[in-house]
Amino acid sequence: MPLAWSVQGEPIRIGLTPVFLDDQTSFVEDWRAYLERRLGRPVAFSQRSSYRDIMDLLLQGKLDFAWVCGYPYARYESELRLAAVPVYQGQPLYRAYLIVPSGDTATRSLADLRNKLFAYSDADSNSGYLVVQYQLLGMETRSGEFFRRTFFTGAHRKVVEAVAAGVADGGTVDGYVWDVLNEFHPELTSRTRVVSRSETYGFPPLVARRGVDDRIMREVQGALLSMDRDAEGVALLKRLSLDGFTQGSSSLFDGIRRMMAAVRGSSGAAQP
Amino acid sequence: MLHNLSFRYKVPVRSSILILVTAVFVTVSLMYRAYDDMRRDLLFNAEGMSRVLVRTLVPAILHDDVWQVYEVIQSAYPAAGADTTLASELIMVLDAAGNTYVANQPKRFPMLSDPALGGPEFALLKRAALQHQEETPAVVDLDLAEYLYLVMPIVSDRVRLGSLVLGFPRSLFLPRFLTIAKRAAWMTLLSLAVLLPITWYWAGRMARPMIQLADCMARLGTTTPEHMRCDLYESQDEIGRLGLSFRRMLAELQEKHALERQIVVADRLGAIGRLTSSIAHEINNPLGGMLNAIDTFKRHGNCEDERTHRTMSLLERGLLQIRDTVAALLVEAKAGSHTLKPVDIEDIHTLVAPEAAKKSARIEWHNELRMPIDLPATPVRQTLINLLLNAVHAVEENGLVRCRVWARDGRLHMQIINDGRHIPADKIEHLFEPFSPLSETGHGLGLWVCYQIVQQLGGDIQVHSEPGSTVFTVVLRYGENE
């Protein structure tokens, strides 16, 4: 079927952030073409630099779908619908890694990084922010007092770079991102050392705004969930080192909800 | 060591040193120039870079987005920091208090740290950066510093947020310097290769006349001036003039030496002359008495006895022979004589001709005398006869004798030339002594007599002999001094 016939009508708008999918323009373009063919209608990807921007667009109805972190999903759950959860190493789960420069052989846990420089990826990221915030609760302190200085890099990959270059003494990073980097860019990850791996959390999901058309929701879900069944889809998934997508359930993100509640409860003035 | 070296080597060595020194100077000035140029280019680019960076950094610093600041400064010199073993540009953003906000070498200058901890150089840098107020880049060039710095304040709406520092390692200049030095070394070698043969040739040309002169002067110590034969360079330059002076000096030396020898000979002959004449006088006095006694005895004595008569005659003949010999030694030039006339000279030609004819020798006769001359004829004739007879004896069969007599400027000249065997130089000194061993015939008094006569007439007699030509020259003054 010629492509031109298939891309008629209102486009489906999907939001992405570099927090997690970093600088993969060609992949995004290929994925878009794949989805257009599968859905038989135009697909438009919007990329924004932070989860906050993407969530704003989604909540304002300017996007239909977005690939976001479990943390914003848990926060805005009432206005969102879970579309699909990626399957990584057979499970829709991932971990957060605490990393330090490879030259630092002394650090055994987060507690050893007191009064050090620390890198987060995004304030709306689970693995890149919330996990550490939750751990700091256990030490009865907040990041502003525990660390000497913290900063956001806006992407998991850049947390790895900041720690590798020594700009930060430690950082928290999406374990999936670190693993993928370790596979394709070992020269970068080799300059860092993973101090600890967190428990598992629900993998950053694809969500839809609550008002999205049911038919479109079903079509998109169908296209995503069956990606692992055709060669082109498998090739695209392989580029992301993912096994596929699954329906997933809201309960996958219970761990995140628990941490979110704990952090909110403690600080009063909650992080955004 | 160089001090004692010949000019042959001194000049090329010195010019090589000169070439090397010049090359070093040129290289150093080129390096200095290159450093200056590089520094200017670098700072020009760095100024543009720092203006752009500051503009870009202001919003990031306002939002306290330290990672973005890091990414911006990291992108300015992407190579920097990647390989920490190589010298690379240092970019630092200092906060308003002068502490590190972030640097592109985060391990060396961690966030929030005091840059002064990096070393004294950075303490000075920090102070310079804080003191710099204008919103233009300023160069901070510290002595012996690792980097050359450019500092620029980061200002937003007249509020100072901090400072941007760009540091360029001085070791970046090194490869350029090495290239220049290498090129200069090659150029030096090339110019040495071209100039060394030229200076070698020049030195050879320059040194040759000096070496000749020096060798010649050195020989002066071991060789007598008469035998010196010096091949000297002729020119109007200093060495040429030196050579000329040396030759003049040598000629004067030779002349002086000859004169000294002449004086020695004349002194000796004078002494011999005085000795012989006093001996002759001493002999003559008793001799006259003895001859008178024999004469008286023969006339009035008892002479009938044959033996006595024979003895007396024997004594008388012996004594007469002694008298003749002594008379020959006692040359008396001024014994009463008439004035010399041209015909007196012609007579001598006639007298000598038969002697010459015996050996078939030819006599070339040039008598240019036309008027009588105020000189005693007898001694002059005797001198001329002696010299001519000597000449005729000296020539081989069919030899040639030339005689020329002329008067000029109050002097009578007599020159007798023969082509017989020449007289060796060492014999000439003793030529005029009495009983000359050179005389093969006669009693060897001929030249002695000539010499005595010429001396007594206040003249001069000279001999010059070389193979094929022996010349006797007699010069006698006449007129004014008589």
Domain ranges of chain B: 2-176, 262-329, 339-477
The answer to whether B81 contacts A165, with C-beta atoms less than 8 Å apart, is yes
Residues A88 and A207 occupy one common structural domain = yes
A138: which residues sit within 8 A by CB, 6+ positions away?
none
Task: Tell me the percentage of chain B whose pLDDT exceeds 90.
Answer: 8
The B-side interface with A (CB below 8 A) comprises 64-67, 70-71, 74, 81, 102, 106-107, 110-112
Residue B333: band (very low, low, confident or very high) from pLDDT cuts 50, 70, 90 = low
According to DSSP, the β-strands at B400-408 and B362-367 are parallel
10 Å Cβ neighbour count for A180? 20
With 0-12 CB in 10 A as exposed, 13-18 as middle and 19+ as buried, what is B461? buried
10 Å Cβ neighbour count for B297? 15
Nearest-neighbour CA in chain A from B96: distance (Å): 17
Smallest Cβ–Cβ distance between A153 and the set B67, B74, B110 belongs to B67
Residues A69 and A136 occupy one common structural domain = no
CATH 3.30.360.10 fits B2-176, yes or no: no
With 0-12 CB in 10 A as exposed, 13-18 as middle and 19+ as buried, what is B454? buried
B26: which residues sit within 8 A by CB, 6+ positions away?
B184
Q: Which regions in chain A score pLDDT beneath 50? A: 1-6, 268-272
**pLDDT the model gives residue B448:** 82
Residues A11 and A88 occupy one common structural domain = yes
Residue A225 lies inside a defined structural domain of this protein: yes
Determine the residue among A151, A158, A159 to mutate to test chain B binding: the one whose Cβ has the most chain B Cβ atoms within 10 Å. A151
A-chain CB neighbours of B111 within 8 Å are 117, 148-149, 167
Tell me which DSSP letter residue A211 carries: T
CATH of the domain at A85: 3.40.190.10
Distance CA B162, CA B156 (A): 10
Residue A269 lies inside a defined structural domain of this protein: no
Residues A14 and A86 occupy one common structural domain = yes
**pLDDT the model gives residue A118:** 94
Residue A188 lies inside a defined structural domain of this protein: yes
The answer to whether B67 contacts A148, with C-beta atoms less than 8 Å apart, is no
Q: Which residue of A has its CA nearest to B67?
A: A153
C-alpha atoms less than 13 angstroms from C-alpha of B120 in its C-beta half-sphere: 4
Query: Does residue B257 surpass a pLDDT of 70?
Result: yes
H-run or E-run covering A257:
helix A254-267
Smallest Cβ–Cβ distance between A152 and the set B67, B102, B107 belongs to B67
Residue B225: band (very low, low, confident or very high) from pLDDT cuts 50, 70, 90 = low
Residue B453: band (very low, low, confident or very high) from pLDDT cuts 50, 70, 90 = confident
For chain A, what is the domain count?
Answer: 2
Nearest-neighbour CA in chain A from B168: distance (Å): 20
**pLDDT the model gives residue A5:** 44
Residue B303: band (very low, low, confident or very high) from pLDDT cuts 50, 70, 90 = low
Query: Each residue of B408-420: pLDDT tens digit?
Result: 888 899 999 998 8
B379: which residues sit within 8 A by CB, 6+ positions away?
B331, B333, B334, B337, B453, B456, B457
CB–CB contacts below 8 A, A to B: 37
Residues A148 and A18 occupy one common structural domain = no
**pLDDT the model gives residue B175:** 79
Residues A106 and A183 occupy one common structural domain = yes
Residue A268 lies inside a defined structural domain of this protein: no
Q: Is there a contact between B171 and B35 (Cβ–Cβ < 8 Å)?
A: no
> CA-based Rg of chain B, rounded to a whole angstrom?
55
A8: which residues sit within 8 A by CB, 6+ positions away?
A41, A42
Residues A117 and A235 occupy one common structural domain = no
The answer to whether A117 contacts B81, with C-beta atoms less than 8 Å apart, is no
Among B124-128, B347-351, B435-439, the minimum mean pLDDT is found in: B435-439
Residues A139 and A232 occupy one common structural domain = no
The answer to whether A149 contacts B102, with C-beta atoms less than 8 Å apart, is no
Residues A116 and A30 occupy one common structural domain = no
**pLDDT the model gives residue A224:** 93
A94 Rama sector, left if φ>0, alpha if ψ -120 to 50, beta otherwise? beta
The mean per-residue pLDDT over the stretch B51-69 comes to: 90
Residues A24 and A49 occupy one common structural domain = yes
The answer to whether B65 contacts A152, with C-beta atoms less than 8 Å apart, is yes
Grouping H, G, I as helix, E, B as strand and the rest as coil, residue B164 is strand
| Amino acid at residue number B190 | L
Tell me which DSSP letter residue A9 carries: S
| Amino acid at residue number B375 | L
Q: Which residue of A has its CA nearest to B100?
A: A167
In Å, how far are A54, B112, B121 from B132, measured between CA atoms?
43, 21, 17
Q: Is there a contact between A172 and A159 (Cβ–Cβ < 8 Å)?
A: yes
Q: Looking at chain A from residue 160 to 179, which residues have their Cβ under 8 Å from any Cβ of chain B?
A: 162, 165-167, 169
Last residue of a domain, one of A199, A218, A237: A199
| Residues in a beta bridge with B340 | B373
Residue A262 lies inside a defined structural domain of this protein: no
Q: Is there a contact between A30 and A237 (Cβ–Cβ < 8 Å)?
A: no
Q: What is the CATH code for B339-477? A: 3.30.565.10
Residue B329: band (very low, low, confident or very high) from pLDDT cuts 50, 70, 90 = confident
B269: which residues sit within 8 A by CB, 6+ positions away?
B432, B433, B451, B455
Residues A81 and A100 occupy one common structural domain = no
Query: Does residue B479 surpass a pLDDT of 80?
Result: no
A-chain CB neighbours of B70 within 8 Å are 162, 165, 167
Last residue of a domain, one of A199, A230, A263: A199
10 Å Cβ neighbour count for B427? 13
> Which among A134, A118, A136 is positioned nearest to A173, based on CA atoms?
A118
The answer to whether A148 contacts B81, with C-beta atoms less than 8 Å apart, is no
> Which among B80, B89, B293 is positioned nearest to B171, based on CA atoms?
B89
**pLDDT the model gives residue A141:** 64
* Residue A101 or B238, more confident: A101
Distance CA A195, CA B256 (A): 114
- Report which listed range, A244-253, B201-210, B427-436, is most confident: A244-253
Q: Looking at chain A from residue 99 to 138, which residues have their Cβ under 8 Å from any Cβ of chain B?
A: 103, 117, 119
Q: Is there a contact between B412 and B444 (Cβ–Cβ < 8 Å)?
A: no
Domain span including residue A170: 96-199
> CA-based Rg of chain A, rounded to a whole angstrom?
19
Residues A213 and A239 occupy one common structural domain = yes
Nearest-neighbour CA in chain B from A167: distance (Å): 5
Query: Each residue of B122-173: pLDDT tens digit?
Result: 888 888 888 888 888 888 888 778 888 889 999 888 888 999 998 888 887 7
Residue B480: band (very low, low, confident or very high) from pLDDT cuts 50, 70, 90 = low
